[in-house]
Chain A
Amino acid sequence: MAARQIRILAVASGGGHWVQLLRLRPAWVGCEVAYATVHPDSAVEVPGARFFSFRDASRKNKAAFAVVALQLFRAVAAVRPDVVVTTGSAPALLAVVFGRLFGARTLWIDSIANSEVMSSSGLRARRLAHQCLTQWPDLAADPVPRYWGAVL
C-alpha cells in the first residue's frame, strides 16, 4: 500500500510574505498542501488547495492576536499537517506553535526584505521552529538561522 502524501500547511501574511511563499511551491510538489494567508482573494492563486484566511495582525495591533490565534488553531487542527512552512510574519509564529502541538515539523523562512537584521518574529522563530532560515548569507549564524538560498 502506498504511503499517504505528506501534508503541508503553508502559511504567510499578505503582500511580500505571500508572494515569497508562492515562489517556494516546487518544494512541495507531490504533497498535499493547504494554504493560510490574510486576503481571501489570494485563494485564486492556489486553485485546488485547501485555503484558510486569518486576520492581519502585528505588534501594533495586539488585540487582533486572539482572533488570529483562534483562526490559525482551527486551520492547523483541520489540516493536521506533517510540516508547517512559513515566510512570516508575526502571526505565523502561532502556526508554528500550534503545528508543533499537533506533531508537525516546522520551518521558518525569514522574508528577503529583512536584509540587515532578521525580523523580530524570525528571531523568536529560532527557538520555536525546528528549522529557521535567513535569505541573506551575512545573517546566518550557528546553529540558526541557516542560509539555504533565496526566493530571488
Chain B
Amino acid sequence: MFAFDRLVRAVDDWAAAHPAVPVLIQIGSGDYEPTTAAFVRMMPPAVYQQRIRDARLFVAHAGMGSIIAAIEAGKPLLMMPRRFDQGEHTTDHQFATLAKFAHRDGLHTATTIAELHGRIDALLADAGAPPAPIAPFASDELIGRVKAFIHGNDRG
C-alpha cells in the first residue's frame, strides 16, 4: 500500500494538540514518522482487529479493508480518501467508495485536514451509532454463482 503521509501527519498534529489522548498510527511505508503519536509500520491482523475494538475512534483511509474491519468490530470509522493528485493512490476511486458508503451509520468522512481535526473532536465527544453489522460472508447470490463457476455449472 502506498504512503499516506498527509493523513499520518494530520493525525500526529491532532495528537500534539491533545496530549491527554493516546494515539497509535499504523504508518505503512510512509516517510513521515510521527513525533507525538505512537506508531508502528504494520500490525499483524489479530493485533489490528484488537486495536480497533479497543479504540475510542478508528481513523483510516477510505479503503474497503478499513470499512469492513470497522463494521466487523462495531466501531465508528472516520475515513479520509486518498488523492491521486497527491500520489496517494493510482486513481481517485476512494472518493467513489466514499460516495457509496458514507451514508451508512457509523461511517464518517473528512476530505480536508481541518474537517478531519473537527470530526475527530466531535466523534470523541459523541461517537454516535456504530456501523450496522454485516453478515460474516458475501451475499448468498455471489457465493452461489462463484461456487457454480468453480464446479463448471455456470454456462451463460
Contact = CB atoms under 8 A, between A and B. Distances in A.
Given A26-B137, A44-B45, A15 B64 contact: yes
Given A27-B150, A112-B64, A39 B42 contact: yes
A23 interface: yes
Contacts, number: 127
A152 B97 CA distance: 13
A49 interface: no
Chain B interface size band reads: 35 or more
A113 B94 contact: yes
B146 A15 contact: no
A119 interface: yes
Nearest to A33: B150
Given A16-B63, A19-B68, A149-B145, A115 B139 contact: no
A24 B93 contact: no
A58 B90 contact: yes
A115 B65 contact: no
B103 interface: no
A60 B42 CA distance: 21
Given A149-B139, A149-B143, A149-B145, 9 more contacts: A14-B1, A16-B68, A24-B137, A25-B137, A59-B90, A107-B149, A115-B97, A117-B93, A119-B91
Interface of A: 6, 8, 14-20, 23-28, 31, 39, 41-42, 44-45, 56, 58-60, 83, 85, 105, 107, 109, 111-117, 119-120, 131, 135, 148-152
30 contacts: A15-B65, A16-B65, A19-B68, A23-B68, A23-B136, A23-B137, A24-B137, A24-B143, A26-B137, A26-B147, A27-B144, A28-B147, A39-B45, A41-B44, A44-B44, A59-B90, A83-B149, A83-B150, A107-B146, A107-B149, A113-B93, A114-B93, A116-B93, A120-B90, A120-B91, A148-B145, A149-B138, A152-B134, A152-B135, A152-B139
